Structure 1
Amino acid sequence: MDSALHTTAAVPVIAAQQKVVVRVPGTSANLGPGYDSLGLALSLYDTLTVETLHSEGLEFDLRGEGAETLPRDASHLVVRAMETAFEKLGFRHSGLRIIAENVNPHGRGLGSSASAVVAAVSAANALVPASAQRGRDWVLQVTSEMEGHPDNVAPAIFGGLALSWQNGELFRTTTARVSPSVVPVVAVPDFELSTEAARALLPASVGHHAAAMNAGRAALLVHALTSDPTLLLAGTEDYLHQSYRAQAMRPSAALIRSLRAAGHAAVVSGAGPTVMVLADGDAAADSAVEFISRFTTENTPEVTWLVRKLAVDVEGAKVGVHRR
């Protein structure tokens, strides 16, 4: 017998006729000075439905964002992440039916890839026998390895404000409760920017003074988000990454400069090009929406912007399982 076939046959197969539904929030990482360490879960939800089949093969239905461009085969990020998770859990499947309903815009800095891998790994974990299932810390580790850093996947898994770090090869996170008066406002432009392209613009090192200034603002930002939102403008001042990336998203950079000059705590969301304002209360959020609409109409007419008031998601990924 072929050794590869023998090895495959020895791996247990998960039960057929199961269905799992995973809802995952979008996320905004960095939040200004919190580069690769801070992330916020947002009320912008993608939903992944996975059914296990008796027959072999893959059925993939993709709806919403990315439906016209993303693949519907084994090369899709969701499928690849599920296969990785099944392998780590020591199981395989006979066949899958997947429905991905995407609301989160892709390539805009709102954690779409993190949402996809969190949904996929959470689904795979829920489909194996209960005795083999792992906790959310395991999901964090696997998805952080896939993404390369935990700042987007952590809030997608746990909700709220996630403060993440790496200890050797181990990814860790803790969450903090955001003040209920904080209202995120996002302005999403109609152009994309890959995380890889944005990272390529960063210098290999920064000066000690800039690092010290950034550390102080990051600490202040955590306090502002959790206890005193009146300090959000000062707390979102960044010295590490936004200025270097500005050339790749000039309309976004111009909007951020004008918003901050007007007193709004505006930052690049993730790697960009989405702009996010962390407003202190609904009135301030409405004021930011009006400012964005006026500024973009007058100064960036070549760009179409989707502007939305959101909420901070406090639950993270929610998994529902149905077995026949």
Structure 2
Amino acid sequence: MFLNSSKFLFLSFMIVGVMMSVSCNSWIMVWSGMELFLLSFVPFFCNYTFVSSECSMKYFLIQGMSSSLFCYCVLYMLVYSSSFLSSFLCFSLLLKLGCAPFHNWVFGVVSGMNYDSLFIFFTFSSFPPLFLLSYISYNLWIFVVFCLFFGSVGGLNHSSLKKLMGFSSVFNLGFLIYLLGSSSLWLFYFFCYSLMVFFVFCFFYFYSLNYLNQFFVGGLSLFSKISFWILFLSLGGIPPMFGFFVKLVVIEFSIFNNDYLVSFFLVMFSLIVMFYYVRCSMVSMVLCSFLIKWNSFFIFRWLNLFSFFSLFFFPFCFMVSGMH
């Protein structure tokens, strides 16, 4: 992305909006911070094309509706407090996050974004609502199951890489919402997920990949395909990759809290997500390669090297899991 002065100004206001939302102790200032982020992010990803303008209008309408509902609940909570208003406050934040079953607007928005805007959309825009939900004592386990189900099953019949990442975001949102009871663990998971998404989007951006069938005609080198394979397997949570140990911390946390049903859903729906990540990896490594497979012995050296470095994260993740 060419960072001109206008985009740098919008990016600065987005950072200020996020900092206002997570550092102020007034509901009105929190709402003002989220609105500042919204008004700065919409012109940031709008590149004056028809698709981008339509997606920016969809994003603005959904976020404006959720912000209006949030402000309405906050103003009425200043007069009297009730569980009904708390439920609507959670609903407005879940709608702003794109949590299932309010997630359909996400896939209509991501198709018009660049990868730099998608990274901000999947990471920084989700941080203030998640931070606020972590302070609201409300049982959200049903939304965790919805996110796991729709995020895993919905990505099976899509070939658009942006929509696949959108379904992956909805799926990982279920992990984040479940971890909101532990402030250290959800921040750890959010940081690790943002790091993996950053490297995946860098790969898509540098090779201008938007659809899965571009691997047939892209002419990618073997090293690039191995890099894509490792990144997707790590994002899917396949051992011994880094993403596996991150999800293992969440499963251990659910078992420690005796949430065996939730841990069952976490494992079963993670297998479905691994299926379409492995499918993408198989397309890039096997179906679209013209190399003679039995002459590519140096592939195993790269895999062994990455597996060796991935094992260093094993004691670190278990050390973090003991912080809850």
TM-score (norm 2): 0.28
Structure with higher strand content = 1
**Structure 1 or 2: more helix by fraction:** 2
Asked which structure has the greater RCO (Cα within 8 Å, sep 6+), the reply is: 1
Superposition TM-score, scaled by structure 1 size: 0.28
